[in-house]
Amino acid sequence: MTQAPSAPASATAFRPLPKAAAPGDYGISAKLPDATLIKWLRDMMLIREFENRCAQAYQQAKIGGFCHLYIGQEAAAVGTINSLNHDDPIVTAYRDHGHALARGMSADACMAEMYGKVTGCAKGKGGSMHMFDKPNWLFGGHGIVGAQTPLGTGLAFAARYEWEVMGKSVTGGPAKKKVALAYLGDGALNQGALHEAMNLAGLLDIPVIYIVENNGYSMGTAIERGTTMAHDLRKKAEAYGMEGAIIDGFDVMKLYDQFKPLVDRCRENQRPAFVDLKTYRYLGHSMSDPQKYRTKDEVDQYKNNDSIDRMASYLMNERKTNGKPTLSEADFHAMQAELKDICMKSLEFAENSPIPDASELYTDVLYNPQPNMSPMRDYTHGVKNPLL
């Protein structure tokens, strides 16, 4: 029997370091309007600024519970979400603030949720790991590793059922061909729920795309130490009869070049797919991670190829509009200042919002009276649980 290596794993050959983009590297993304590309840069910068403010507030004990920051992975959420229609549903795990902001949630609602305040997107009852935004088709934010993947599969199944069987949408309007995204971390790859869901998706032609945000680590365990075929995760997709792709998640435009056509195919053919999206988080797994499993040098290598720096550089140096840089330095600095202001105001908004009333403990929870099943009789909506 071979022994698993005991030394902390560092970056291995299969885990690619991002390469600097050269002009002409981009495909369909380069043909998008300037305003679209500037908006993507803005979205990524908003997420980074927001996350930095969260880190500060957490250190000041203003945010409680677990807090998993998205710094370094911004291109993943922004590139994938911008390949969708607004009403394509998405579901993700607990590293979810980036997805919420990229989907259009206001920084105020997101920050207030971090603070556990009533003005938060989940009325302060969810916190960092449970961002929900029904108008923006975000169905969480889930803390149980892998548990969101069957939910994403169900969202896609529901959409297909509306289109194929009902011929109308339960939320109003005509039914249409949709695609759902179910994000997961590489640490969820070996959860049974994922494999059950992928099997059904392959079998029943469910238009869901499983996106592994592969940052190389499941907490402190390097992927190649805990997962088979880590060098080619597409083999997992093959076993369930679905298309698999490995996509560069360090460059938002390259990501779009590969991911958008995949989304279009899944939508058109109403078929599932699986993506190994290579990314990297600059901070620890959560705010309380001493990061003994990787070297500073490894982290720095990724930081030196930062997706935000790269896109800013493309728009300010390489891309030209009427002979001038697409994004001027002055506009870039104005955008930085505007985003800082938005995030500072979100802190103020969260700070000044009230905490939920104690009675809220008994609302928005599943209530299913079972006569004679409980020795204490039925629990009643809004009434304190007699067993507590």
Ligand X SMILES: Cc1ncc(C[n+]2csc(CCOP(=O)(O)OP(=O)(O)O)c2C)c(N)n1
If one asks whether residue 152 binds ligand X (CB under 6 A), the answer comes out as no
At 339, list the tokens: 């985003």
Min CB(293)–Mg ion separation in Å? 12
Neighbours of 366 (CB within 10 A): 4
C-alpha 306/C-alpha 340 separation (Å) is: 19
Among 79, 89, 185, 249, binds ligand X (CB under 6 A): 185
**Sole binder of ligand X in the list 103, 285, 294, 310 (CB under 6 A):** 285
Residue 162 structure tokens:
């509306």
**Is residue 217 involved in binding ligand X (CB under 6 A)?**
yes
- Given the structure tokens 């009789």, which residue do they identify? 377
Rule CB under 6 A: say whether 262 interacts with ligand X. Answer: no
User: Which residues within the stretch 95-114 sit at the binding site for ligand X (CB under 6 A)?
Assistant: 95
Closer Cβ to ligand X, 104 or 226, answer by number: 226
Give Cβ neighbours of residue 247 (< 8 Å, ≥ 6 apart). 255, 258, 259, 275, 276, 277, 278
Residue 210 CA to residue 185 CA, distance in Å, equals: 10
Residue type for 228, please? Answer: T
Q: Which is nearer to ligand X, 196 or 331 (CB)?
A: 196
Three-state DSSP class for 327? Answer: coil
Stretch that binds ligand X, among 112-120, 160-168, 179-187, 352-360 (CB under 6 A): 179-187
Closer Cβ to ligand X, 253 or 277, answer by number:
277
**Residue entry with tokens 């009869």:** 241
Grouping H, G, I as helix, E, B as strand and the rest as coil, residue 91 is strand
- DSSP E strands: which ranges in 288-375? 320-321, 324-325
Among the residue ranges 24-32, 184-192, 301-309, 315-323, the one whose residues contact ligand X (CB under 6 A)? 184-192
Nearer to Mg ion (CB atom), residue 221 or residue 326: 221
Does residue 207 interact with ligand X by CB under 6 A? Answer: no
Tell me which of 218, 258, 326, 353 binds ligand X, using CB under 6 A. Answer: 218
User: Is residue 170 within the footprint of ligand X (CB under 6 A)?
Assistant: no
Alpha helices, H only, 95-248: 97-103, 107-114, 148-161, 192-204, 223-226, 234-239
Answer for which of 49, 186, 248, 276 binds ligand X (CB under 6 A) is 186
Which residues of this chain interact with ligand X, rule CB under 6 A?
68, 95, 143-145, 185-188, 215, 217-219, 285
